[in-house]
Amino acid sequence: MSEVVAMAGQAYMRQLQAHPLRTKAITSGVLAGCSDAVAQKISGVSKLQLRRLLLILYGFAYAGPFGHFLHKLMDRVFKGKKGKETTAKKVLVEQLTASPWNNMMFMMYYGLVVEGRPFGQVKSKVKKDYASVQLTAWKFWPVVSWINYEYMPL
């Protein structure tokens, strides 16, 4: 079994090297769809709601490519710089720019596309909940970003 996992990991890394944008987009879409399917089951949904699986599209068309280009930009901005101070700067830049933007985009996409709500309702909900969502994100995602910048190969 471990040999199969190792071979799959190697194949994934080859695809990541050969086709980074495509691989990240597909990975993001698959992870978004799987995580939403699991969330539906945990929350007691008896039958998967296919409309919610539109999160696959969000991951594939937006989140994967956005992350790809964000990290390329960070590499360009911080070219040749390494160490904990550089990692801290990358996390700070990401959390003050990409994080607020991504949370806004996700809330809009989820409300309009996944839930099928009218724009006015979505706008009101975002206005009401955005600050809370962003503050919660800042409690969790900086740690994930630190680990990502410090230990994950690009």
- pLDDT tens digits, residue range 17-45? 999 999 999 999 999 989 888 888 898 88
Q: What is the pLDDT of residue 154?
A: 62
Number of alpha carbons in the 13 Å side-chain half-sphere of residue 10: 6
Q: Is the pLDDT of residue 48 over 70?
A: yes
d(C-alpha 73, C-alpha 94), whole Å: 11
**What is the model's pTM?**
0.85
Q: Is the pLDDT of residue 46 over 90?
A: no
- CB 36 within 8 Å of CB 55: yes
Q: Identify residue 24 by its one-letter amino acid code.
A: K
Tell me which DSSP letter residue 1 carries. -
Read off the pLDDT of each residue in 135-150 and give the average, rounded to a whole number.
95
Q: Is the pLDDT of residue 8 over 80?
A: yes
Q: Is the pLDDT of residue 111 over 90?
A: yes
Q: Is the pLDDT of residue 153 over 70?
A: no
Residue with tokens 């089951």: 41
Q: Identify residue 149 by its one-letter amino acid code.
A: Y
Cα(first)–Cα(last) distance of the chain, in Å? 27
Neighbours of 126 (CB within 10 A): 16
Read off the pLDDT of each residue in 100-105 and give the average, rounded to a whole number.
97
